[in-house]
Amino acid sequence: MSGSGSAGALTSLAVLAALVEVATMLPYLAAVGLIAGADLTWPVAGATLAGYCLVMTLPAIVLTVARLTAHRAVEPLLRRINDWLTRNTARLLGWTVGGIGIVLALNAVARLLLEG
C-alpha cells in the first residue's frame, strides 16, 4: 500500500475494524457456549469446535489463496477498493457510530416505556 491515507483515516479504519471484530466474535462465543453446554465428550467437543473454526475461516483461506495465485489480476481491483476506503473511512465510521447511537437510543426509550 502507498502512503496516500492520512493518520486520521487509518485510525478511523482501525476503530471500525475493532467494532466489526467484536461483532463477528459474538457468533464464535455463542458457538463455544453451545458446545460447552452440550453433553459432549472432550474429543467430540474439540472436533466440533475445530469444524466450526474451519467453516468460519474457509472464506478467508480461499480469498488468500486466490490473492496469492491471481496477484496481477486482482491488484487493480484491490487498489481501487483501498483508494475508496481511504477516501470514505470517516464517513463510513460516522454512519456506523450514528447507527449504533440510534439503536442505543431506541433501546433506552423502549426500556423507559416498559418500566414507566
pLDDT tens-digit map of 14-32: 888 888 888 778 888 888 8
Residue 82 within any structural domain of the chain: yes
How much is the pLDDT for 56? 86
* Over residues 32-45, mean pLDDT: 90
Residue 72 within any structural domain of the chain: yes
Residue 2 within any structural domain of the chain: no
- Alpha carbon distance 28, 48 (integer Å): 12
Domain count, the chain: 1
Residue 93 within any structural domain of the chain: yes
Report the 10 Å Cβ neighbour count for 56: 13
Residue 99 within any structural domain of the chain: yes
How much is the pLDDT for 3? 55
Residue 1 within any structural domain of the chain: no
Q: Which three cell numbers stand for residue 35?
A: 458446545
Arithmetic mean of pLDDT over the chain: 86
- Alpha carbon distance 103, 97 (integer Å): 10
Q: Which domain range does residue 103 map to? A: 7-115
Q: Which three cell numbers stand for residue 1?
A: 500500500
How much is the pLDDT for 80? 93
Q: What percent of the chain has pLDDT over 70?
A: 95
The answer on pLDDT for 76 being more than 80 is yes
Residue 54 within any structural domain of the chain: yes
How much is the pLDDT for 2? 53
Residue 41 within any structural domain of the chain: yes
* Over residues 48-53, mean pLDDT: 90
